[in-house]
Chain A
Amino acid sequence: MRNVTTLLRRELNAYFASVLGYLVIMFFLIVMGVTFAVIVSYLNRGPTQLTAMKIMFSMFWVPSLFVVPPITMRLLAEEKRSGSIEMLMTAPVTDFEVVFAKWLGALTLYTLMWALTGLYVLILHYFSQGVAALDLGPVAAGYVGVLVIGQFLIAVGLLTSAMTKSQVMAALMSFALVFLLLIVVNWMTWLFRGEPALRMLGVAVPLDKFFKAVSSFDQMEDFARGLVDMRPLVLYVSGTALVLFLTTRILESRKWR
């Protein structure tokens, strides 16, 4: 565990020693800030069913798609390209400690970014006093959703970084995978809506229910309503465990090639 702390500190330093950390946070804050401004001016027009933070959380796919690849691409690909992986793996640390610390490093940056949007909650809270009290429950649940989906996608990004020496390749692969897991799965829920169950080998497979259950957009909607469902939590946490395990195996694969 002490090794993980040491490695984690190095990862965080690396983000802020280069422009990358600042650049990604800047991009995130511009996108979220503009979104927030648009939402607030829209809500000012008249009463609606929506709340500002609910719309904010429904934007979660933008940072997932455009922030996760740049913050994960470097993690292992650069170590492999520069050869520093050899220094790292010949120190008395295990492969899993390295993988875990790198995942934790990217997750910390991601969490930090979202934490900055807490400012919007404060602004809403301050200006909505006396008009309509801000309900903090759904806001907290929304943050849980953002983090639990984010931590899984970061693991996926780390996996692609372990597969190549090139940061560009890693970023492209993780972009494709995140696109598949979020956007394409969401399209599928539309495509299979109301479709009868598919019969395969004598078993009825209800594709509409399946895609609805794994679609992050639907899950995020629940979270933003204040509904913390155990099923997506279990899905994403065990998904992360699996992906981090795979990443460790890929890192070890130099040993059986």
Chain B
Amino acid sequence: MQPMIRVENLTKRFAGVTALKNVSFEVKRGEIVGFLGPNGAGKSTTMRILTGFLPATAGRVAVSGVDVFEGSLEVRRHIGYMPENNPLYVDMRVREYLKFRAKLKGVGRADRNDRIDDVLEMCGITDVRHRIIGQLSKGYRQRVGLADALLGEPDLLILDEPTIGLDPVQVRQVRQLIKDLGKQHTILLSTHILSEVEMTCNRVIIIHHGKVLVSSTLANLIKPTIEVEVRGGPRDAVQIALRGVPGVASVRMEAGDDERVRCVLHPKPETDPTEEIFEAVKRNGWKLRELSRSRTSLEDIFVQITREEDEAEEDRRDQRRTMLR
């Protein structure tokens, strides 16, 4: 089956600035993908290219097999897009606006009213349908934008920071809505709220400086870790012993002396070797001071990955500088 989105070697240059460098990724049908990256990483640019608002400088972008540049109108019919900052016509009333958008999106006259009522209901804005958009609170406006994106019953929803500027209750509502929508739609959403991604998405794509750093399922990315602190054993012996425990994938030693050995273990997928670790320590006659399981948060991973990339970038720059000298 065709993937919903296929991006191959996408490059985008604005006058003098390269916003995206050779970006490639795929989104399969039915996935909810979180699109992450620091500000200015190229998230919005990628989304604008996907929706046909901007063209690519180089590379191929296809939505369900249709090239977004050649088949732009066709692609736009299948996408529900909510841009960053959610611009709406503030002088219109909610229902009037949705009617205008439904007509533009080619929703047939026969289904139009039903469809509008459906999305009003889905987004919880039936009560404000006769209000002027400019007089609504940010949370309501955000939901009007979401309702608009849903109007054409799109196969693909592209949401650029859908929960920005909402209060915690509204964030929770929108998040739940996105989760529900994910049952029928493919969703690509960008956000800075990483806990949100952990709760709603199956997969994350992290981009930074216009490059894809990570494209992986959440389960693969957020691996559980086991922290162990042992007293009485020499560092090397402890490391060898722990590595020998079945179910342990890797062992990372932390700084310390032979008196107190701390290390972080990664278990193999779907296993829980805590008991075996305890047994191994006991067998060697060492003292176990700590044995705790934890999960690295997506936030830690995000910060770590982007920082590594920044440092690598810095190194490359230094190298170039030395070469020039």
Which residues of B from 282 to 296 have beta carbons under 8 Å from A?
Answer: none
B104 contacts A92, C-beta separation under 8 Å:
yes
A203 to B147, CA, bound (A): 65
B106 contacts A92, C-beta separation under 8 Å:
yes
A255 contacts B54, C-beta separation under 8 Å:
yes
A17 contacts B76, C-beta separation under 8 Å:
no
Which residues of A from 1 to 51 have beta carbons under 8 Å from B?
Answer: 2-3, 6-7, 9-10, 13-14, 17-18
A87 contacts B106, C-beta separation under 8 Å:
no
Chain B residues with CB below 8 A from A14, complex form? 89, 91
Given contacts A86-B48, A86-B53, A254-B54, contact A91 B101 (CB under 8 A): yes
Determine whether B161 belongs to the interface, using a CB cutoff of 8 Å to chain A: no
Contact with A along B67-81 (1 / 0, CB 8 A): 000000100110101
A2 to B148, CA, bound (A): 19
Shortest Cβ distance from A91 into B: residue = B104
Shortest Cβ distance from B48 into A: residue = A86
Given contacts A92-B73, A255-B55, A257-B14, contact A86 B87 (CB under 8 A): yes
B104 contacts A3, C-beta separation under 8 Å:
yes
Determine whether B131 belongs to the interface, using a CB cutoff of 8 Å to chain A: no
Please, how many residues of chain B have a CB less than 8 angstroms from a CB on the other chain?
29
Chain A, interface residues (CB within 8 Å), range: 20 to 34
Determine whether B103 belongs to the interface, using a CB cutoff of 8 Å to chain A: yes
Determine whether B195 belongs to the interface, using a CB cutoff of 8 Å to chain A: no
A91 contacts B89, C-beta separation under 8 Å:
no
Most buried by A among B89, B91, B100: B89
Shortest Cβ distance from A85 into B: residue = B87
Determine whether B192 belongs to the interface, using a CB cutoff of 8 Å to chain A: no
User: Looking at chain A's contact residues, is the secondary structure mostly helix, strand, loop, or mixed?
Assistant: helix
Determine whether B83 belongs to the interface, using a CB cutoff of 8 Å to chain A: yes
Most buried by B among A2, A7, A85, A90: A90
A90 contacts B101, C-beta separation under 8 Å:
no
Which residues of A from 225 to 257 have beta carbons under 8 Å from B?
Answer: 254-257
A82 to B145, CA, bound (A): 14
Shortest Cβ distance from A256 into B: residue = B55
Chain A residues with CB below 8 A from B15, complex form? 257
Shortest Cβ distance from A90 into B: residue = B51
Given contacts A86-B48, A86-B83, contact A17 B91 (CB under 8 A): yes
Shortest Cβ distance from B132 into A: residue = A17
A92 contacts B51, C-beta separation under 8 Å:
no
Chain A residues near B (Cβ < 8 Å): 2-3, 6-7, 9-10, 13-14, 17-18, 82-87, 89-94, 254-257
Q: What are the 5 closest A-B residue pairs judged by CB atoms, nearest first?
A: A83-B87, A84-B87, A6-B103, A90-B51, A17-B91
Chain B residues near A (Cβ < 8 Å): 14-15, 48, 51-55, 73, 76-77, 79, 81, 83, 85, 87-92, 96, 100-101, 103-106, 148
